[in-house]
Amino acid sequence: MKIGIVCYPTYGGSGVVATELGKGLAARGHQVHFITYRQPARLTTFQENVYYHEVSSADYPLFEYPPYDTALASKLVDVVKYENLDLLHVHYAIPHAAVAYMVKKILLQEGRYIPVVTTLHGTDITLVGKNGAFAPVVAFSINKSDGVTAVSESLKRDTEKIFDIKNEIKVIYNFIDFDRFRKLDKDHFKKAIAPNGERILTHVSNFRKVKRVEDVIRVFEKVYKKIPCKLLLIGDGPERQSMEELCREIGLCDEIRFLGKQDAVEELLAVSDLFIIPSGSESFGLAALEAMACEVPVISSNVGGLPEINIQGKTGFLSDLGNVEEMAANAIKLLSDDKLLQQFRKNALEQAERFDLENVLPQYEAYYEEVIQKAVTNYQAEIE
Ligand code: GMT
């Protein structure tokens, strides 16, 4: 198949999933075209069957906001026509699903039907999408997609609750590439971070409010009182400054390290004993799955899709939102019992294996085939 992928090219979960999916499909012989405003963060090396088309929106003094949607639509029309694409797969509804609809309409005028699959990732529904500023367009463009997928059952439920959705939403879970995410031997690293054999707790996020990094620090503060440990905070974002201030306030600067954005997260997960993700909303929690693939148990909140990944009392523990007391107690229980921790590490890996990229790719392929088949009927409906 010739597939066009539209996504945010940043380090965010949706961009990562879209890029890894495209690379995986290309490795299976499909021709994959990424159409984004910057080279996707995870698309750094040359790969056969992978193409990249950059969208550049023209600047003009009249534009207070450069019209990115129009530039993207024009680029998509061009790529679909000249690369002869079979399907467009857009990740994150805003604005990609709406732009794809416009592209479909433009091409329809030329007698060509391009099927569109939209993948919902979370904040495009649960946080931003339901905002009145976007909601009507989001609902419309989801209904106008030829296929819609969500990355968890929880996100499917939320989407159906928030919007009047006529389309069937198919759940295709996010995945893990075990060639990259597996437990590596990084003992020298561990000695540098925790020279006296301290336990290492880790959190990875974009430091937005929804990630509740303060809860991570509060949990750590409680664990630290009982067990010698260090905290690695990986990522960057709007909350980082205030979190650094909090660490100073509670006097734990020497025990908490802010590492900023890191490319080789797997190397840090390799030395971690526990992963903490107390999010206020999380449609899937790819960061938690990556930790589990590296044999790191997870302490999480029980919101959104997290209970579909983290299994209570097996791969980690889940608590009600903001219950840092319980999160800390569970962390202490795990970290003070080597045998239990080992068992949870093993369980975490077993659970992560259910989300192996190799099992998920055929699901997307089958879904694309189904959508392309249906496109004939959809084409008739559109021209009538
Ligand atoms: O919140 C983030 O980490 C970024 C955001 C995004 O859209 O890039 O992540 C969302 O999509 C990821 C990939 O499907 C999911 O793993 C995250 O759970 C989801 N974030 C939220 O729902 C808050």
Domain boundaries, the chain: 2-175+357-383, 187-353
Q: Phi first, then psi: what are they for 351, rounded to 5°?
A: -65, -40
Question: Coil, helix or strand for 72?
Answer: helix
Pairing of strands 147-150, 116-120: parallel
Ligand 1, residues 92, 176, 284: which to mutate, most atoms within 8 A of Cβ?
284
Calpha distance 86→107 (Å, rounded): 13
Start-to-end CA span in the chain (Å) = 28
pTM of the model: 0.94
2-175+357-383 and 187-353: identical CATH topology: yes
Is residue 370 a contact partner of residue 147, using CB atoms and an 8 Å limit? yes
CATH class of the domain defined by 2-175+357-383: alpha beta
Question: Coil, helix or strand for 48?
Answer: coil
Residue 210 CA, closest ligand 1 atom number: 23
CA atoms within 13 A on the CB side of 157: 8
- For the chain, the maximum distance between any two Cα atoms, rounded to a whole number of angstroms, is 73
Q: Give pLDDT tens digits along the chain (384 positions).
A: 999 999 999 878 899 999 999 999 999 999 999 999 999 988 988 899 999 999 988 788 888 888 999 999 999 999 999 999 999 999 999 999 999 999 999 999 999 999 999 999 998 888 887 788 889 999 999 999 999 999 999 999 999 999 999 999 999 999 999 999 998 888 888 999 999 999 999 999 999 999 999 999 999 999 999 999 999 999 999 999 999 999 999 999 999 999 999 989 999 999 999 999 999 999 999 999 999 999 999 999 999 999 999 999 999 999 999 999 999 999 999 999 999 999 999 999 999 999 999 999 999 999 999 999 988 787 777 777
CATH class of the domain defined by 187-353: alpha beta
Ligand 1, residues 152, 173, 283, 360: which to mutate, most atoms within 8 A of Cβ?
283
